[in-house]
Amino acid sequence: MIRVIVIVDNTAHRPDLRTEHGFACWIETGDARLLFDTGQGAALAPNAQTLGIELARADAIALSHGHYDHTGGLPSAWAAPANTPLYLHAGALAARYRVSGGTAKEISMPRPVRELVAQHMESVRYVSQPTEIAPGAWLTGYVPRRHHEEVAEPEPFFLDPSGQRPDALVDDQALYLVTGTGVIVLLGCAHAGAINTLDHIRDLTGNAPLQAVIGGMHLRAASAERLAWTVAQLQRLNPGLLVPAHCTGAPAAAALAMAFGDRCRPCGAGATFDFGNGNQTTTTKEKHIC
């Protein structure tokens, strides 16, 4: 049995859980407890407590990329750095900015978090290629950009506040769980492209079926053409469960719900997904059995 619990998201299933622009998931397998991303910081610890999750019991922490809304909560979770490995791409520590209309906003990993990482380098594990962080649980490392459609639309992300050095977000990675009935994929923001990421994982797993895809797909500013292409590609990949979250955007989530029907489920803090026998039903608004 594998359980995925969304701790932080832009929305929530329950009124007793906090929301913020960010993402974090707790994963329980038969062998390990994993934390994937940490949100901005304000929601992680209180939501985990409400959900009965002991963050200090994580066997490993993995970061999808170095933006503040996925890394800011790390101090709440990394209570015992010497005992808990932290997995991230080295590029996640870079300073980065969103530059729009001549105005720059820093969107890096917060400085206190970078300082915390620097203080505990003995526990840091840099990931640049596919890496197993627990039995059956893998990080993709760098995701090849194979589809022009997912890199053709310019992004306002830069490595300098003057907007002269575009940020290719080479640190973007996904977490995937290999099971006997398919692969469960967790996306942070999929800045590398959701389809690029999923095709890469399919290559790494011998084209194993996609049992589930959960997380941010970075489609909130996608053009109509890009969105239609993404929907068609997801139909090609045929995931058993699709859970758009965080930066996917309402128009994209609506398009996915129309295309996939009952296979597309809402996310939100408190959403829980159990994977085991391959059958899929819904038991409550915030819990899904797959």
For position 153, what pLDDT does the model report?
A: 72
Pairing label, strands 60-62, 33-36: parallel
* 2-277: CATH class: alpha beta
For position 79, what pLDDT does the model report?
A: 73
Domain ranges of the chain: 2-277
For position 286, what pLDDT does the model report?
A: 45
For position 285, what pLDDT does the model report?
A: 41
Residue 137, both tokens: 């649980």
Torsion angle of the four alpha carbons 173, 175, 178, 183, in this order, in degrees rounded to the nearest 10: -80
Instruction: List, for residues 85-142, the tens digit of each pLDDT value.
Output: 999 999 999 999 999 988 999 999 999 999 999 999 999 999 999 999 999 999 999 9
Burial class, 42, CB count within 10 angstroms (exposed 0-12 / middle 13-18 / buried 19+) = middle
For position 193, what pLDDT does the model report?
A: 96
Q: What's the N-to-C CA distance of the chain in angstroms?
A: 10
CA-based torsion, 105, 110, 115, 121: positive or negative? negative
Question: Can you give the pTM of this predicted structure?
Answer: 0.94
CB 219 within 8 A of CB 242: no
Longest dimension (CA), the chain: 53
Q: What is the mean pLDDT of each run of 10 residues along the chain (290 residues)?
A: 97 96 97 97 98 96 98 90 88 96 95 94 96 98 95 86 95 97 97 97 98 96 94 98 96 96 96 74 39
For position 288, what pLDDT does the model report?
A: 47
For position 102, what pLDDT does the model report?
A: 87
In angstroms, the Cα distances linking 81 to 54, 78, 284 are: 15, 6, 36
Q: For tokens 């939100």, name the residue.
A: 268
